[in-house]
């Protein structure tokens, strides 16, 4: 039986932000310290080549998350030959890069330019090349062959400003906390927040985009408040049991989870919602993309039920419960 894949939602003519995720085949924890480090370097190097911006990311032992901004097509294609030369030198080994540069300067200049531009400013091309390149390295290094990844990557379109962007970024950076690998995401080397705290320029630029500011010291404090105050829940009892105060808090809330507790869980909207943002953003997207939504759809944006994210909406409703482990 053929299982129909859901269509991937993209927007054209404007910049777009996508939350992308992919898992290792069988959920095997194949990515150790060295593998995560290689993947981290490849994702940044390829992003530079493709002209996309990594806002934040997290590489776990059996999956990864990326929050990626893709520029408008016009901007992605308006790349000078000098810039193309810089990008191929960034991506390829010295001899292979020089071969590309020679073709860009020779009789094949225009054809070579178009071949390179076809790989610019497209989230699907970026993720496809990233997964392929890492698979080749991994299989060669470990003497294995066959598929490394279990599926094509999942992607959710995220409103490029405001609460939705902040929430998804925090959700990604808190992955190692949810997995019990650390109590503070700055202690986990393979996530955007830790890189930014360590002073990595590209990682800081990504979070500055998320925070919509140009000053790192202020943005760093504000984002940390979001991670710890809103998105990072610490057990109040400080022990293996549940304190009386915590129990009373749960009762007062009628068993509802706080936003911080929910971000410690797996929020399925972030990987299966197709698009996330304010009601106005999702409504406009549905109006413009009837080819994706379907002209016959009679319902509007879906409130993100079962979560504390009351002001956010999703394009796609979920059949399964919204929260998982």
**Which helix (H) or strand (E) is 22 found in, with range?**
strand 16-23
Residue 184 lies in a domain: yes
Residue 10 lies in a domain: no
**Average pLDDT over every residue of 59-66:** 96
Averaged pLDDT score across all residues of the chain: 83
**Average pLDDT over every residue of 167-193:** 88
Lowest mean per-residue pLDDT among 43-57, 80-94, 288-302: 288-302
User: In CATH, what number is assigned to the domain containing residue 49?
Assistant: 3.30.70.1290
Extract the tokens encoding 8: 């991937």
| Domain encompassing residue 194 | 16-320
What pLDDT does residue 275 have? 87
- Contacts for 294 with CB less than 8 Å, ≥ 6 apart: none
Query: Alpha-carbon torsion 73, 77, 78, 84, what sign?
Result: positive
What pLDDT does residue 304 have? 82
Residue 163 lies in a domain: yes
Lowest mean per-residue pLDDT among 15-29, 119-133, 137-151, 230-244: 230-244
Q: Give me the number of domains the chain comprises.
A: 1
Residue 8 lies in a domain: no
pTM, two decimals, is 0.80
Question: Kindly report the CA angle at 216 between 210 and 220, in degrees rounded to 5?
Answer: 70
Q: What tens digit of pLDDT does each residue of 3-15 get? A: 455 566 666 667 8
- Let me know: does 318 contact 268? Beta carbons within 8 Å: yes
Residue 1 lies in a domain: no
pLDDT at 225 over 90: no
In terms of C-beta distances under 8 Å and separation of at least 24 residues, what long-range contacts does 196-200 make, across chains too?
Answer: 196/220
- Let me know: does 276 contact 301? Beta carbons within 8 Å: no
- Give strand ranges (E) for 50-144: 53-59, 63-70
Residue 96 lies in a domain: yes
In the chain, pLDDT over 70 holds for what percent of residues?
Answer: 82
Residue 138 lies in a domain: yes
Report how far Cα 105 is from the mean position of its chain's Cα atoms.
36
Residue 2 lies in a domain: no
- Contacts for 3 with CB less than 8 Å, ≥ 6 apart: none
């Amino acid at each position: 039986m053929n299982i129909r894949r859901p269509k991937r939602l993209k927007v054209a003519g404007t910049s777009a932000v996508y939350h992308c995720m992919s898992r290792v085949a069988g959920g095997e924890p194949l990515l150790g310290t060295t593998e995560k480090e290689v993947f981290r370097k490849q994702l940044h190097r390829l992003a530079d080549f493709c002209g996309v911006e990594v806002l934040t990311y997290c590489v776990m032992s059996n999956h990864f998350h990326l929050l990626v901004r893709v520029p408008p097509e016009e901007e992605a294609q308006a790349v000078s030959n000098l810039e193309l030369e810089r990008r191929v030198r960034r991506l390829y080994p010295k001899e292979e890069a020089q071969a590309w540069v020679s073709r860009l300067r020779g009789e094949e200049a225009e054809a070579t330019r178009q071949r390179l531009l076809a790989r610019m400013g497209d989230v699907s091309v970026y993720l496809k090349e990233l997964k392929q390149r890492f698979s080749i390295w991994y299989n060669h290094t470990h003497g294995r062959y066959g598929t490394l990844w279990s599926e094509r990557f999942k992607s959710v379109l995220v409103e490029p400003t405001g609460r939705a962007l902040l929430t998804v970024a925090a959700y990604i950076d808190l992955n190692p906390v949810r997995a019990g690998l650390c109590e503070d995401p700055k202690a986990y080397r393979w996530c955007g927040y830790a890189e930014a705290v360590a002073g990595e320029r590209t990682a800081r630029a990504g979070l500055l985009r998320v925070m919509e500011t140009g000053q790192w010291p202020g943005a760093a404090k504000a984002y940390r408040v979001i991670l710890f105050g809103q998105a990072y829940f610490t057990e109040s009892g400080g022990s293996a049991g549940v304190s009386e105060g915590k129990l009373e808090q749960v009762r007062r809330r009628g068993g509802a989870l706080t936003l911080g507790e929910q971000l410690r869980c797996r929020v399925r909207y972030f990987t299966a919602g197709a698009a996330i943002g304010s009601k106005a953003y999702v409504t406009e997207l549905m109006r413009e993309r009837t080819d994706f939504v379907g002209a016959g759809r009679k319902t509007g944006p879906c409130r993100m039920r079962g979560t504390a994210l009351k002001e956010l909406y999703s394009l796609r409703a979920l059949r399964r419960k919204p929260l998982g482990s």
